[in-house]
């Protein structure tokens, strides 16, 4: 490489460097603005603590989306979550940390705990589920989050009923 070529390549590098700096000066405020716009475009959220059971995903999603009038439902799943929360199992920590993300980062205003018919994760009677759902609502309320906590039951026809 001749002297002239080295000089030119360094000039180009410097020019590119100036271009990159200029671009970042111009783009940084735009990106900041973009994040704000993106935040609004994210839509609104509510939260469901639901069973892993595939049969209850759509009924709970649709019920929550419509009753809470939101764009999306954050779905936190665990096997028989009404049993897990009412018993205070170790998995409660995982559920709570997921709820916190939904509430703090997605500004969710409603958290539902779900129990359902024929649940293999919490195999108790309907009465047992309703008791567990109510207990779970009380436990979640004790987390003192700025949300409305509701209890839902998915019946044998896979329809959602409001427990509390
Ligand atoms: Zn289940």
Going from the Cα of 30 to the center of ligand 1, the distance in angstroms, rounded, reads 46
Going from the Cα of 110 to the center of ligand 1, the distance in angstroms, rounded, reads 21
Q: What is the mean pLDDT of residues 94-123?
A: 98
Residues 6+ apart with CB under 8 A from 113: 49, 81, 82, 85, 133, 136, 137, 140, 149, 150, 151, 152
Query: Per-residue confidence at 4, pLDDT binned at 50, 70, 90?
Result: low
Going from the Cα of 41 to the center of ligand 1, the distance in angstroms, rounded, reads 33
Going from the Cα of 118 to the center of ligand 1, the distance in angstroms, rounded, reads 7
Going from the Cα of 151 to the center of ligand 1, the distance in angstroms, rounded, reads 15
Give the model's pLDDT for residue 35.
40
Assigned token pair, 147:
């949300």
Assigned token pair, 73:
């439902």
CATH fold for the domain made of 45-162: Beta-carbonic Anhydrase; Chain A (3.40.1050)
Q: What is the mean pLDDT of residues 29-42?
A: 47
Give the model's pLDDT for residue 42.
83
Q: What is the mean pLDDT of residues 111-137?
A: 98
Going from the Cα of 42 to the center of ligand 1, the distance in angstroms, rounded, reads 30
Neighbours of ion ligand 1 (CB under 5 A): 51, 53, 119, 121
Reported as a single tens digit per residue, the pLDDT across 83-101 is 999 999 999 999 999 999 9
């Amino acid at each position: 490489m001749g002297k002239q070529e080295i000089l030119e390549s360094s000039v180009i590098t410097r020019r590119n460097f100036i271009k990159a700096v200029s671009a970042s000066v111009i783009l940084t405020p735009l990106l900041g603005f973009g994040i704000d716009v993106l935040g609004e475009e994210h839509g609104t959220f509510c939260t469901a603590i639901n069973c892993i059971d595939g049969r209850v995903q759509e009924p709970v999603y649709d019920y929550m989306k419509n009753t809470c009038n939101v764009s999306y439902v954050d779905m936190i799943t665990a096997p028989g979550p009404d049993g897990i929360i009412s018993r205070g199992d170790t998995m409660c920590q995982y559920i709570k940390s997921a709820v916190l993300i939904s509430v703090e980062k997605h500004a969710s205003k409603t958290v539902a705990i779900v129990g359902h018919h024929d649940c293999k994760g919490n195999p108790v009677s309907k009465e047992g589920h309703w008791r567990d759902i109510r207990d779970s609502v009380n436990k979640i309320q004790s987390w003192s989050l700025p949300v409305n906590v509701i209890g839902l039951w998915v019946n044998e026809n896979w329809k959602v009923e409001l427990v509390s």
